[in-house]
Chains A and B, each alone.
Chain A
Amino acid sequence: MDWTLLILLVVPTLVHGNSTVTVRTGSGPPVGSDQHPNSVPLSEDTQTTTEVREVVVEEVMTTGVLNPSHYPARRAATVVQHYLNTRYGSPYRWIFLSKVHSGSAEDVAEMRKYQLELTMQETISNVSGQCSAELLFPGGEGQSAPQVQASCEGLLQSNTTAQEEAFYQQHRASNNMVSGTDIPDSYGHMEPNMKPFWHLGGVASSFIMLRESNESTLYNMAQVANFTQLETEKDQLRFNYHVLLHEMISQEIIHWKLLVTWSPEQGVKVLQSELQPKCHDCEAPPNTTN
């Protein structure tokens, strides 16, 4: 009996001793501190002498059920966000992605088709709605815009009619052209009367962001650099906008000049858009005075 009890005492200790060992997950070779930090078990040749290039791993296009927190679903969902803003956005309605619930992707001929279940939020009223969306990213040669279909429930509930009408009437009589710069400013601040123009800039940017999007991009508007109101034409308010877009994967800030019109009936339209060149010559030499 003493032996039995001794075994009963010893065995659990051995078991617990083992539980302190860290278990390796085993997916992919572990890169420990004793290995050369720069060694990677890939055959990729990284000799770059004079050639300038973007080193991007060929993204394996996920097919089938998508993980809602992984980037393929999130990038596609952001494209849906841009689409919804082109359709429904205004100086008083600006929609943002709230959550991806589920999604799937498949190859259809040369194209990539996504299906998503999303929650979107209108950011001024904070009203949320559930959306189902389908996107087609064109494959092959030539950059063409993704095609999006989406239907949402409850998203457009907020009554913006009164505010939009008041804003429209205030600005359509062209005796006092409004303009603004740096919205928001460096501190994230803007004057309250500039807010609708910020929203309008965001919605107008959505046309470009939608058009420029693919599975390897994620766009947001970083700032309205400036905008100027032009003469009202055909009952549409008209503006020149200079917007800064942030593309997340390349981390670039991309400048666009847009000719934007809006009225409560017609919604937002972008009549002209012009990519501004990345201004290498604008690089100021380092300022040595602090």
Chain B
Amino acid sequence: MEQMKRENPDVVSSMVYGQTYERRNITLLKIGLSSTGRKKAIWMDCGIHAREWIAPAFCQYFVREILRTYKTDTKVNEMMKNLDFYITPVLNVDGYIYSWHNESTRLWRKSRSPGTGGCTCYGTDLNRNFYANWGMVGVSTDCCSQTYCGTKALSESEAWAVTDMLGKMREDILAFLTIHSYGQLILVPYGHPNISAPNYDELMEVGLGAATAIKAVHGMDYTVGTSPDVLYANSGSSRDFARLIGIPLSFTFELRDKGKHGFELPEDQIQPTCEEAYAGAHHIITYAHDKVFYSYAVTVTATLWTTLLAAWVSSAILL
């Protein structure tokens, strides 16, 4: 992250927006061409689950890719002008570092906060800890479980940090992407089977467009749907929280593979996975951007008015 800042000081800045349980900084990179006014934003976070190593790799790839192409790619350049990208390469820093200790810790998932009330196990599932139908479904109240949702919503400082940032920025965020593995899925809100997002059709359309973009890169199939439809019901996820506070386009990406390697994706698949995920993310971000900066209805109405006016004028002249 320091290197990205050093090499691109005019477009990259970093922000520490919280602390983990073990008091490590949670840092994001803010990337965009500077402007005088308030800018719209795109949020991406990776590594909320420690063992999903391909996710932080993708955040780093994404950062590198937009910095590599914004000067030459007109669309990326336009989006850098109009938007700021807020990228958190590793959200669950404690868990991630723990998963790098040795082979026996490699498959750690949760945070590293200690259990309470006599429970000796560590960690809360950060993606069940958000204030979004917290504790309702797809969670465990056993602190030793992988889907332990915590003693209460936002018991984890990592979840609180994201909540705080999103709360401050919510009017400006056009799209929220949270990156996980594995399964090759694009999940739309909500995790609860009985609740639908008001813009479900739009979310599905954009998600399916992203899956098409992904497939075009290396032929990989990504399935699109709500979590209860294509995977399992769950509550307290960051994706659901983002949608609930009004961020219209909120997606979970589950990257490669489909179970053969699972969390332990080999090195030669990092690059292709990142390439296809970038195509998917780019599709969503472009849609979000164009929706605001190229209002379709305005364009069509203006065109129609002009055409009719021209017809009226020419017929008036003829008469």
Contact = CB atoms under 8 A, between A and B. Distances in A.
A40 to B, nearest CB: 5
Given A20-B297, A53-B141, A31 B199 contact: no
B294 interface: no
Nearest to A37: B244
Contacts of B140: 52-55, 250
A127 interface: no
A282 B120 CA distance: 10
Contact of A57 (B224, B233, B260, B263): B233
Interface residues of A, number: 76
Given A69-B225, A97-B258, A186-B103, A40 B195 contact: yes
Contact of A187 (B101, B232, B246, B266): B266
Given A69-B230, A96-B259, A252-B145, A29 B264 contact: no
Contacts of B121: 280, 283
B120 A283 contact: yes
A214 B221 CA distance: 25
Contacts of A250: 140, 145-147
Contacts of B170: 33
Interface string A63-106: 00001011100100010000000000000000011010000000
A16 B304 contact: yes
Contacts of B146: 250-253
Interface stretch (B3-11, B35-43, B130-138, B282-290): B130-138
A52 B144 CA distance: 10
A42 interface: yes
Nearest to B295: A20
Contacts of A282: 104
Interface stretch (A43-51, A110-118, A161-169): A43-51
Contacts of A23: 201
A286 interface: yes
Contacts of A188: 261, 264-267, 269
B301 A44 contact: no
A159 interface: no
A9 B311 CA distance: 10
B137 A33 contact: no
Interface stretch (A136-144, A241-249, A262-270): A241-249
Contacts of A288: 22
A282 B104 CA distance: 10
A186 B106 contact: yes
A46 B136 contact: yes
Contacts of A99: 221
Interface string A114-145: 00000000010000000000000000000000
B225 A280 contact: no
A170 interface: no
A234 interface: no
A232 interface: no
A27 interface: yes
B141 A48 contact: yes
Nearest to B132: A37
Given A12-B308, A96-B259, A33 B244 contact: yes
A247 to B, nearest CB: 9
A62 to B, nearest CB: 10
Contacts of B305: 9, 13
Contacts of A176: none
Chain B interface residue number, banded: 35 or more
A248 B230 CA distance: 12
A16 to B, nearest CB: 5
Contact of A55 (B136, B144, B201): B136
Interface in B86-139: 94, 97-98, 100-101, 103-107, 109, 112, 120-122, 125, 131-139
A251 B109 contact: yes
A181 B182 CA distance: 23
Interface string B189-223: 01011111111111000000000000000000101
B120 A8 contact: no
A81 B295 CA distance: 48
Interface in B236-268: 241, 244-246, 258-267
Contacts of A189: 266-267
A273 interface: no
Contacts of A69: 223-225, 229-230
A45 B245 CA distance: 24
Contacts of B199: 22, 25
A51 B141 CA distance: 8
A28 interface: yes
Given A28-B196, A30-B197, 13 more contacts: A9-B309, A12-B301, A16-B301, A31-B195, A31-B244, A40-B136, A40-B195, A55-B138, A67-B229, A186-B264, A220-B262, A248-B232, A251-B125
Closest 7 CB pairs of A and B: A188-B266, A220-B259, A251-B146, A33-B246, A30-B198, A28-B196, A20-B297
18 contacts: A20-B297, A31-B190, A33-B245, A33-B246, A38-B134, A40-B133, A40-B192, A52-B140, A54-B141, A57-B192, A187-B264, A223-B107, A251-B109, A251-B146, A251-B147, A253-B146, A286-B122, A288-B22
Interface of B: 22, 94, 97-98, 100-101, 103-107, 109, 112, 120-122, 125, 131-142, 144-147, 153, 170, 183, 190, 192-202, 221, 223-225, 229-233, 241, 244-246, 258-267, 269, 295, 297, 300-301, 304-305, 308-309, 312, 315
